Structure 1
Amino acid sequence: MKTMAHSIGVMELSSIAAGYQTEDAMLKAADITILVARTICSGKFLIIASGSVSAVNASLEAGEMVAGSYLIEKLTIANVEQQLFAAIAGTVTVSDVSFRALGIVETFAATPIIEAADAAAKAADVTLLRVHVSMAIGGKGYFLVTGDVAAVEAAVDAACSAIELSGMLVNRVVIPAATKELMQELL
């Protein structure tokens, strides 16, 4: 029986074949759940795993050994914000988000958006609507967050600060009173 996930591990590889091999090694190494394991734009492979901190660390260590020179980037977030899981999976349900602020952060790569979204959700009372990682958008990542204007601004600021040194930020936007039509389009 799997325990509640407290950690996320991300591996991005430059080889699709090595990606599948790495995923297998990660699953064999520890009791983790694979949230995402797929090809992404520009011929890369992305793996996002969840589980206890120790399980995720063990799986990433095993994955790194198998990935070898195909490993582009690796990230571990311990004590991850729980709403991140639903936002990655695309299973967020929101009752009334019309006329609330909408924040969007966009990165050049998949891995930094996970880190940014976690920082945003931890920084303010917001709802992560979606975390999109690299599928059909040229290898980029983005997240959508909603809440009151001050909370969304704080969340977007925290997200950008979390990835500032990586140089991966493409853009950040806060729409103070998103239209009902725009919000419905996103859900």
Structure 2
Amino acid sequence: MEMNSLGLIELTSIAAGMQACDIMLKTSQVELILSRTICSGKYMVLIGGDVAEVQSAVDNAVNQIDFAVIDTFVIPNVHKDIFPALSGHSNINLLEALGIIESFSVASLIEGADAAVKAANVKIIEIRLAMALGGKAFCTLTGEVAAVSSAVEAGAKVIADRGLLVNKIVIPQPRPELLSEMI
């Protein structure tokens, strides 16, 4: 299965979240990346696969469980660095400038992270999703100061356009100890 697209549904109900996961997996040829509870009593389902299959899976779940849907997305041609950042397996050994983008929703953060990494020559360190964060999400990225600034602006704009931006920061010369605290 070609993993060139991500789809996500974020729900207000845990039971509806499990039902959405089942619908998505039964109605389309997609791969389950993540299905779990998130703070504060919400549920998220993240899938990957071919763009048409991912879109179909998300649409089917939304059509059947629209009463519980908080947010959704389908990102076609997702940047390849998003997958390891979601799983916490980024291979970053050197912390250059540090960019941080923080959002009120999981969906908007992943979309913002994808936009950020596509906008400039940066590496995503991590995408952290709503666990022990009060339902918020954030991503960290590194690279040269100008590239990190451009990436943070691009990612933050996607999130801000949806009214969900908490904060965005660029730290030009972060202390190296920060890297060990992030991953």
Q: TM-score under structure 2 normalisation?
A: 0.96
1:104 is matched with 100
Q: In the TM superposition, what whole-angstrom CA distance separates every residue of 1:109-133 from its partner, at most 9, and x where no partner exists?
A: 1111011000000000100011111
2:130 maps to which of 128, 134, 145: 134
Segments ≥4 residues shifted beyond 4 Å? none
- Work out whether 1:64 is the aligned partner of 2:23: no
Q: Distance in 1 between matches of 2:145 and 2:34?
A: 31
Q: In the TM superposition, what whole-angstrom CA distance separates every residue of 1:130-187 from its partner, at most 9, and x where no partner exists?
A: 1111111000010000011111000001011112221111111101011111122223
Provide the aligned length of Structure 1 versus Structure 2. 183
2:170 maps to which of 158, 167, 174: 174
Contact 1:21 1:66 in 2 (8 A): no
Higher deviation after alignment, 13-22 or 159-168? 159-168
Contact 1:160 1:169 in 2 (8 A): yes
Q: 1:31, CA displacement in angstroms?
A: 1.4
1:87 is matched with 85
Letter in 2 for 1:31: Q
RMSD: 1.0
1:153 is matched with 149
Q: TM-score under structure 1 normalisation?
A: 0.94
Gaps of 5+ in 2: none
Contact 1:132 1:143 in 2 (8 A): yes
Letter in 1 for 2:21: E
Q: Distance in 2 between matches of 1:31 and 1:94?
A: 32
1:78 is matched with 76
1:185 is matched with 181
Gaps of 5+ in 1: none
2:14 is matched with 16
Letter in 2 for 1:91: H
1:50 maps to which of 45, 48, 51: 48
Q: Distance in 2 between matches of 1:13 and 1:74?
A: 9
1:163 is matched with 159
SS in 1 for 2:65: helix
Contact 2:103 2:159 in 1 (8 A): no
